[in-house]
């Protein structure tokens, strides 16, 4: 007769074997889900300024402030095993030395969560459409804080789709040399990291692998960093508008009005 301890060990070993097998099947089954990501990113304006890019910077240096448009359809990245997608945009520009690799700096990022992922403050909140804004009475503002947060998190587009107009960057670009003005051949590139419930992390790819198609687009046209204080514009109306929501239904694209 086996002792109670041996029986517990056998049951636990059997349980872990079954759990590992099920997890492996779930992870491998994700590869049969088709993926066809696509994106378009365009530069709106770029400005190079000399100063302290962060409050903790101890010296003045040149840094770039970039605004952009983004239209991305990453809905096919979400399947039964996707927890969230970490999306980011990086600026790539050549190094000052020919033998060194190109420099890369992230200017914007967001976390796109699946429906089953628990909510946290780092998840992406889509700008609220201007035609759906409703003034709430002051007496009910405190009582409806949680409901407002939930409504603000709901995007007017399907999960995984982003349509941003004149978006401000989250992070300023600095260089180890301390100089950025007049740097050439700069490009904005969209990348992501898909984080599954079970399995390995999956990074953005541009190659077709079976039912997974590589990213179509996602890279802006090359541009240059201007001189300090100068702005490079692709659309003169950009400076009058505000970043955020853009509606595509019916061919119309209403934009947020600038603050009074």
pLDDT digits (tens, 9 = 90+) for 76-124: 999 999 999 999 999 999 988 888 899 999 999 999 988 888 777 778 8
Note the pLDDT tens digit of each residue in 6-63. 888 888 998 999 999 998 998 888 888 999 999 999 999 999 988 877 777 777 888 8
Q: Please name which of 225, 231, 204, 224 lies closest in space to residue 215, comparing C-alpha atoms.
A: 204
Contacts of 243 (CB under 8 A, 6+ apart): 67, 164, 165, 166, 167, 168, 256
Measured CA angle at 248 (ends 78, 66), to 5 deg: 80
pLDDT of the residue at 251: 43
pLDDT of the residue at 195: 93
pLDDT of the residue at 53: 74
Mean pLDDT of the chain: 80
> How many Cα neighbours within 13 Å face the side chain of 162?
31
Neighbours of 240 (CB within 10 A): 11
Q: What percent of the chain has pLDDT over 90?
A: 40
pLDDT of the residue at 244: 60
Is-contact 69 166, C-beta < 8 A? Answer: yes
Is-contact 48 227, C-beta < 8 A? Answer: yes
User: 50-64, 72-86, 133-147, 148-162: which has the minimum mean pLDDT?
Assistant: 133-147
Q: Is pLDDT at 163 greater than 60 in this prediction?
A: yes
Is-contact 105 173, C-beta < 8 A? Answer: yes
Is-contact 48 224, C-beta < 8 A? Answer: no
Kindly give the pairing relationship between strand 231-233 and strand 103-113: unpaired
pLDDT of the residue at 43: 95
Q: What is the mean pLDDT of residues 176-190?
A: 90
Q: Is pLDDT at 228 greater than 60 in this prediction?
A: yes
Q: d(Cα 25, Cα 34) in Å, to the nearest integer?
A: 17
Q: Please name which of 151, 162, 156 lies closest in space to residue 119, comparing C-alpha atoms.
A: 151
Q: Give start and end residues of each alpha helix (H) in the chain.
A: 4-29, 138-141, 145-153
| The pair of three-digit structure tokens given for residue 161, joined into one six-digit string | 């789709």
- pLDDT range class, residue 1, cuts 50, 70, 90: low
> Which residue has better confidence, 177 or 131?
177
Q: Please name which of 102, 103, 151 lies closest in space to residue 127, comparing C-alpha atoms.
A: 151
pLDDT of the residue at 131: 54
Q: d(Cα 149, Cα 239) in Å, to the nearest integer?
A: 29
Q: d(Cα 212, Cα 195) in Å, to the nearest integer?
A: 16
pLDDT of the residue at 151: 41
| The pair of three-digit structure tokens given for residue 202, joined into one six-digit string | 């999956």
Dihedral angle, C-alpha 156, 122, 239, 151, nearest 10 °: 30
- pLDDT range class, residue 238, cuts 50, 70, 90: very low
Q: What is the mean pLDDT of residues 196-209?
A: 89
pLDDT of the residue at 128: 59
Q: What percent of the chain has pLDDT over 70?
A: 76
């Amino acid at each position: 007769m086996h002792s109670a301890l041996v029986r517990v060990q056998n049951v636990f070993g059997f349980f872990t074997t079954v759990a590992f097998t099920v997890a492996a099947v779930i992870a491998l089954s994700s590869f049969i889900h088709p993926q066809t990501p696509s994106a378009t990113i365009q530069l709106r304006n770029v400005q190079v300024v000399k100063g302290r890019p962060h409050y903790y910077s101890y010296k003045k240096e040149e840094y770039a402030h970039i605004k952009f448009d983004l239209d991305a359809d990453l809905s096919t990245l979400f399947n039964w095993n996707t927890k969230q997608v970490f999306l980011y945009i990086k600026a790539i520009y050549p190094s000052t030395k020919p033998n060194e690799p190109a420099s890369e700096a992230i200017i914007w990022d967001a976390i796109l969560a699946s429906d089953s992922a628990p909510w946290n403050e780092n998840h992406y909140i889509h700008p609220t459409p201007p035609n759906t804004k409703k003034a709430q009475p002051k007496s009910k503002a405190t009582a409806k804080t949680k409901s407002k947060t939930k409504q603000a998190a709901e995007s007017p587009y399907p999960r995984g789709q982003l349509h941003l107009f004149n978006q401000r960057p989250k992070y300023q670009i600095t260089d180890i040399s301390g100089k950025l003005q007049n740097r050439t051949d700069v490009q904005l590139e969209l990348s992501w990291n898909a984080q599954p419930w079970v399995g390995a992390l999956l990074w953005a790819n541009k190659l077709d692998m079976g039912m997974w198609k590589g990213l179509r687009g996602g890279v802006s046209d090359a541009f240059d960093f201007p001189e300090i204080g100068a702005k490079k514009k692709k659309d003169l109306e950009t400076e009058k508008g505000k970043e955020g929501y853009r509606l595509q239904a019916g061919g119309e694209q209403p934009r947020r009005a600038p603050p009074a």
